Structure 1
């Protein structure tokens, strides 16, 4: 998919940019004229992506970052390389599925830390940028949640709970940010072909996910990136606040 949008002059931050949805969002935004900061713990992957974007004529800055850590230096690096941020996409996330009775607190902490606390941390780090951008132009905060925020799936209780928190947080942030000129979009993908499920350690749950993907052909990361580009390129007065993006055959 090579669709482009009118994003010339915009400066974006994409978390979880090293793979899947984050990578395709970064490519779409850069192709559309935005400068893009690529945040990920996997520095080599985002360095490679930045090189590919540059080779295609875009502007990208690879930034090694842990979304749960102090982001002071990350913000300074982004400002030095690209300037003030007016488009923030909180995409970093992890999905670890096991029966709740297994009591996997290690997985629970990791999902809560990345999916929720990390999102809060990044949003706080760049909120001053968004407020300033909303005062004299367009500012967007786009949070990648999941249809799991509304649906129930055996073995995914804690993951879906973190995504329900993201969806509710997005709605509440809009009550504060809208008056400041910041658009808040909560994006909830359905089944997407990404690495998200590759870190699970339960063979039975993995087999179930594989069977589901065989039954319901998933969307591609580019499909989700296309929706992000569309939402961010609307006129300033238009806020697509809630978007659920599903494969057509996913019930």
Structure 2
């Protein structure tokens, strides 16, 4: 599915795979110029080449959202100018019982899922506010149904997603009046690389069993929601969207 996003300039984080990569494809096929931000430089370079081969406009930017982003911002501005659409998708899901005391995993999830989102939002806020004075401007945060639900062994992950959901609601109180639409999207079970990061065999096996019972959505399903949301008329803000496989309850 494609939408009318002509003359829009987007930044998508976590664009190397999964929801991020599929979102970049939907936005580019809908006419947007898309900057692909991710740590895996080769992956985003390949995706940018694929988009260009289809006739779209894409810029690969190797960047870690937990680090200084000044170089990434300069690269985006030099290549495409002002940004009016930001998709905060970069994230990591590391499952372990809290009793394991894996503070290395806690730090990684908090730094990526929450602080990384804040870092990206901060460096592009002035772009979004300026764009919002003239036309549509969108900040889209990819959270999770885990923001509201409880799952054993995922306490810290769910806490970071709860923070993203609440942060999104509060950002809207600040940015909405300035013409920037803030949308929080909470996917349910989605096929992605997130489970591959889990190094606890028992936790990983439990997730595999659940995914066998509940066929997950494709990453493209979430990307389609992003495309639809950001292509609405300027005065329409879809603030909160929960996207589930039909059989997930």
1:16 maps to what in 2? 14
1:175 maps to what in 2? 173
Which string of whole-angstrom CA distances, capped at 9 and with x for unpartnered residues, describes residues 78-117 of structure 1? 0110111000000000000000000000000000000000
Q: Does residue 1:226 correspond to 2:235, yes or no? A: no
Number of aligned residue pairs: give it: 249
2:61 maps to what in 1? 63
Q: 1:202-221 residue pairs with structure 2 within 5 A?
A: 202-221=200-219
Which string of whole-angstrom CA distances, capped at 9 and with x for unpartnered residues, describes residues 7-33 of structure 1? 000000000000000000000000000
Q: Does residue 1:197 correspond to 2:199, yes or no? A: no
Structure 2 SS opposite 1:187: strand
Question: 1:131 and 1:237 mapped to 2: Cα distance?
Answer: 15
Question: 2:70 and 2:197 mapped to 1: Cα distance?
Answer: 29
Structure 2 SS opposite 1:198: helix
Shift of 1:58: 0.5
Aligned residues: CA RMSD: 0.4
- TM-score w.r.t. the length of structure 1 is 0.99
Q: Which runs of 4+ in 1 moved over 2 A?
A: none
Gaps in structure 1 of 5+ consecutive residues: none
Q: Does residue 1:165 correspond to 2:163, yes or no? A: yes
Which string of whole-angstrom CA distances, capped at 9 and with x for unpartnered residues, describes residues 201-244 of structure 1? 10000001101110000000000000000000000000000000
2:83 maps to what in 1? 85
- TM-score w.r.t. the length of structure 2 is 1.00
2:34 maps to what in 1? 36
